[in-house]
Amino acid sequence: MIPLVYDQVNAWGKDDEFFLALLKKSDVKTIADLGCGTGRLTTHFAAANYEVTAIDPNAEAIGVAKGKASSGAVKWIVGDSTDLPANAFDAIIMTANVAQVFLTEESWEAVVADAYRALKPGGHFIFDTRNPLAKVWEEWEKDTTPDLAENPETGEPLEIWTTYDGMADNVFTFYETVKNANTGDIVVREKMELKFRTREAIRDSLEQANFSQVHVYGDWEFEEAEQEAHSFIFHGVK
Ligand SMILES: C[S@@+](CC[C@H](N)C(=O)[O-])C[C@H]1O[C@@H](n2cnc3c(N)ncnc32)[C@H](O)[C@@H]1O
């Protein structure tokens, strides 16, 4: 996550509409947005009148989020799932594949357990994750052109170059380098690692943590997930 350019290269999409629609269907009031990043979706949750707590370990991202309209109504926390209070939320949501940042089984199981602890009885745990069987990284690796952005502080043009280190132990590693397009100077470079878990492994981890009524949608049309779906959207109930 590079807060400087994140919103410019992650435009609003069908996935974001899906999350808003699923929350509406779930009839919830209090939400924790875990891994909220720059608040891309968080501020829409607040604008929809949910009572929102938003958490992310990236202080720079939270700083960007706090500058947005509707941010004043949100409780922002620089932290992680261990900072979630117990029995406090009707829904905990992790959008844009936050679930894939937890690289070890221990860290993933800890987040699932923390979400369970922080939900009220009957509360909803909702998140998306990419399907390893769809091998989306093979498409990513073909893209050798930079994304373009603008430095919001200076107005200078930026290029975002991605290089790929490949897949090992179901973790895909790549690097993003943001350069000043005029001078070629590196503005920021970040290593990214994403864990790809199977639908069965995730379902098992939710059931182990006592979540019930686990439902898996495929992509963004409220359809049941097929084997070859690009993404899975999990919805479990405490
Ligand atoms: C791809 S971004 C998604 C941001 C946001 N949810 C959205 O929809 O735009 C992944 C986010 O996960 C956050 N993250 C990394 N480690 C985390 C952790 N241990 N707990 C919670 N969030 C974490 C990153 O800082 C980053 O903001």
What is the DSSP annotation of 40-90?
A: TTHHHHHHTT-EEEEEES-HHHHHHHHTSTTGGGSEEEES-GGGSPTT-EE
Q: What is the mean pLDDT of the chain?
A: 95
Helix (H, G, I), strand (E, B) or coil at 98: helix
Q: Could you give the angle at the alpha carbon of 67 between the alpha carbons of 63 and 68, nearest 5°?
A: 125
- Backbone φ and ψ of 202, nearest 5°: -70, -45
In 3D space, the residue among 86, 87, 74, 82 whose CA is nearest the CA of residue 33 turns out to be 74
110 contacts 221 by C-beta, under 8 angstroms: no
227 pLDDT higher than 90: no
User: Which strand (E) or helix (H) includes residue 23?
Assistant: helix 14-26
Beta bridge partners of 32: 53, 92
Q: Is 95 in the pocket of ligand 1 (CB under 6 A)?
A: yes
What pTM does this model have?
0.95
In 3D space, the residue among 202, 138, 150, 149 whose CA is nearest the CA of residue 174 turns out to be 138
127 pLDDT higher than 90: yes
97 Cα–ligand 1 center, Å: 8
Q: Is 61 in the pocket of ligand 1 (CB under 6 A)?
A: yes
| Least confident segment among 5-19, 110-124, 214-228 | 214-228
Q: How confident is the model over 62-110, as pLDDT tens digits?
A: 999 999 988 889 999 999 999 999 999 999 999 999 999 999 999 999 9
78 Cα–ligand 1 center, Å: 11
60 pLDDT higher than 90: yes
77 Cα–ligand 1 center, Å: 13
Query: Ligand 1 test: best mutation among 10, 41, 94, 98, most atoms within 8 Å of CB?
Result: 98
Distance CA 180, CA 217 (A): 40
Listing from the earlier edge strand, what are the strands of the sheet with 171-180? 147-150, 157-168, 171-180, 186-195
Distance CA 140, CA 14 (A): 20
